[in-house]
Amino acid sequence: MQWHEQNDINVQDKDETEEGTEEIAFNKKYIKQKLDHGLTRIWMDVQQKVKLFVLGTDLSHFKLEEFIRVLDIIHRMIEIGEEFCGSKSDGLQDSLKQQSLNYFKNHHRYRMDELRMFLENEGWELCPVKTNFTYSRLLEFKFMKHWNKSPELSPRGDSSLTTDNKVVYFKDFTDGATPFDVHPEDDENEDVFSYSFDSEGNDSDSDSDIPDELKQDYIDEITGEARSHRQYKRRISHNRSRKNVPIVTNTTINLLRVIGKYMKMITVLKPIAFDVIYCISQLFDYYLYTVYSFFGSHDSVRNERAINQRLHLTLQRIHSNVIAEEATPGAPPVDSEENQDRVPQPHLSPVVDLTAADKLFGLSERVVAAESLVFLANQFEQLQPHFETMIPTNKKAFLQQFYSQTISIAAELRKPVYWAVSVHAIDYNGVINLMANVRWDIKDIMSQHNAYVDDILKKFENLNRKLSDISRRLPIPRVVYTSVWEHCVRLTNRILVEGYSNAKKCSNEGRAFMQLDFQQLLSNLEKMIDLRPIPEKEFVEGYIKAYYLPESQFDSWLLDHKEYSPKQLIALINSVDHLNKKARQRLISVIEDMERTRR
């Protein structure tokens, strides 16, 4: 039609007679009507041929990048059809969705198996990346650079930009080029890896943040050696960068790459956006469940209820929906159809040792695993606005549920992971044995604390030294120190109460002796670790001081302090010397009634 319009002027110049003008106008009108009426028919013919080609082609052997390229080309075809005749190309879109779902289902199964292989071979060692590393540094997410930075993003392919810069195919491609020409992509090199903890992504030689008096050379007061400002600055930069380095593994980075490819697929085929986002959630679910099963599912963790109800329900849901059931001898056969879309639970690599006491029972590996999960969750938080734009409106409830029930609780997995270290880091049974040798029915006020207090402090000093040794090889975040010490102190306080409850006899002076020991432990502990307040301090103090309660107050105290075990409560009642036999029996009956109602 454009050709006819452009050549219409030349025809009018050649024949300017009245009869010739009428004939030209008639021919022009006739041609325009024919072309207008034929646009839809022409495009339907083109669409049908492309549809047959798409449905008849086996795309299962294509790599994901190649398949996305095919999707991008067909996506441009659909846009050309809309510009050509206003057609939405529903038939072509349906065939594209059908092929994409078939391909993506098989591809995702392969990716889940690949993730399992990565996790089973993962040594859980720190992968050195720069301190400014995020998902956006990976080449798989480079397509997102074309999106607006506003919350309402345009999840379109690279062939389409924003509304203001929309491609007009029949005007922009008139010089011999076509919309389907493959343009060589700009060579981009990833700059995410670092080979030292000093990489911060900025000029490390800058002195702008250091006072002038600190730039001068100085004498080390300990060694007497002359030190230069550059040595001082290098040490400061090293400590700062170690503190901020992201903790990730090779598997973490590989998982982010897969997510980037999945999101690219959504941009060129919106109809399967929900299916792709659902599969992305499965990738994260599987990673989270693996970290738990490798490092947080110890029997001591389950016994101590280190997992809260919300985390427990999430792990249960993931196990039901993602983890394949394994055949058990003597049990009913596993339903193969239900297992078809699930993945077997991975097994920890034999190179990972979680039993070595000198390495704090695999604390380095546990830190890398738990903190890489938290890092991955933070990347998902940053991607949430993009997912909300991509997912259909009627499926947004799923996305909100995924973020509230899975992403938001990833950090809570730290507790069971580090709890398993704290349970074995201190010899709590040794403390109980030392406490058993102490007499609490003394008649004199003592001024010197017992030997078991020194034993606990020595164990804590040993733990502190091991943590320092590990921190030289791996940057341990502040939250890890806090978690490990909090668990150790809490377990120690529980052991103290258990040890005090083992006392068969006790006097007022003996109870004061317990208070002296505990205050000595607290004062030294506060100097050793920066943990305020001391966990379960009231748990110990309350048990010691309850000895002095009059009989009339014991009933209400027992009902208000169900955190103690029945054995500890009965031991307390039996040790109080100002209670007569009848009062003891009555109070013990109260404790037994409490236990029955608790069950």
| DSSP H or E segment with residue 524 | helix 508-528
Count of CB atoms within 10 A of residue 297's CB?
16
Structural domains of the chain, with CATH: 2-165 (no CATH), 419-598 (1.10.357)
pLDDT at 469: 94
Pairwise CA distance, residues 238 & 472, whole Å = 11
Closest CA to 466 of 584, 360, 332, 349: 360
- Per-residue pLDDT at 80: 84
Look at phi and psi of residue 344 and say left if phi exceeds 0, alpha if psi is from -120 to 50, else beta: beta
pLDDT number for residue 163 = 39
Copy the structure tokens of residue 42: 């022409």
- Sequence letter at residue 589: S
Helix intervals (H) in 296-351: 299-303, 309-321, 336-339
Give the residue among 75, 48, 70, 49 at the shortest CA–CA distance from 59.
70
- pLDDT the model gives residue 268: 77
DSSP 107-175: HHHHHHHHHHHHHHT-------B-TT--GGGSGGGGGGGGS-SSSS-----TT---GGG---HHHHS-S
- 284: CB partners within 8 A, 6+ apart: 255, 376, 377, 380, 406, 407
Q: Rounded to whole angstroms, how far apart are CA atoms 142 and 137?
A: 8
Question: In 10 A of CB 494, how many CB atoms?
Answer: 20
Cβ-count burial 178-208 (b if 16+ within 10 Å, e if not): eeeeeeeeeeeeeebebeebebbeeeeeeee
What's the whole-model pTM score? 0.80
- What DSSP string runs through 48-97? HHHHHHHHTS--TTS-HHHHHHHHHHHHHHHHHHHHHH----HHHHHHHH
Distance of CA 567 to CAs 166, 216, 498, 545, 573, Å?
76, 65, 9, 17, 10
Are 247 and 475 within 8 A, CB to CB?
A: yes
Structure tokens at 137: 């540094």
| Tens digit of each residue's pLDDT (9 = 90 or more) over 246-286 | 999 999 999 999 999 999 888 877 888 999 999 999 999 99
* Whole-number pLDDT of residue 161: 35
- Whole-number pLDDT of residue 62: 83
Q: Please tell me the predicted confidence (pLDDT) of residue 120.
A: 96
**What pLDDT score was predicted for residue 5?**
60
Residue 323 CA to residue 286 CA, distance in Å, equals 8
Q: What is the pLDDT of residue 304?
A: 54
Is residue 106 within 8 A of residue 60, CB to CB? The reply is yes
pLDDT number for residue 175: 64
Residue type, 499: G
Per-residue pLDDT of the chain (599 residues; tens, 9 = 90+): 565 566 665 555 555 555 667 777 777 777 777 766 677 888 888 888 888 887 787 777 888 788 888 878 887 888 888 887 877 888 877 877 777 888 888 889 999 999 999 999 999 999 999 999 999 999 999 888 766 454 444 454 443 333 345 567 766 666 667 777 666 555 566 777 765 544 343 434 444 445 555 455 545 444 455 555 455 444 444 444 456 789 999 999 999 999 999 998 888 778 889 999 999 999 999 999 999 999 988 765 555 566 788 999 999 999 999 999 876 665 565 556 566 778 999 999 999 999 999 999 999 999 999 999 999 999 999 999 999 999 999 999 999 999 999 999 999 999 999 998 999 999 999 999 999 999 999 988 888 999 999 999 999 999 999 999 999 999 999 999 999 999 999 999 999 999 999 998 899 999 999 999 999 999 999 999 988 899 999 999 999 999 999 999 999 999 999 999 999 999 999 999 888 899 999 999 999 998 888 76
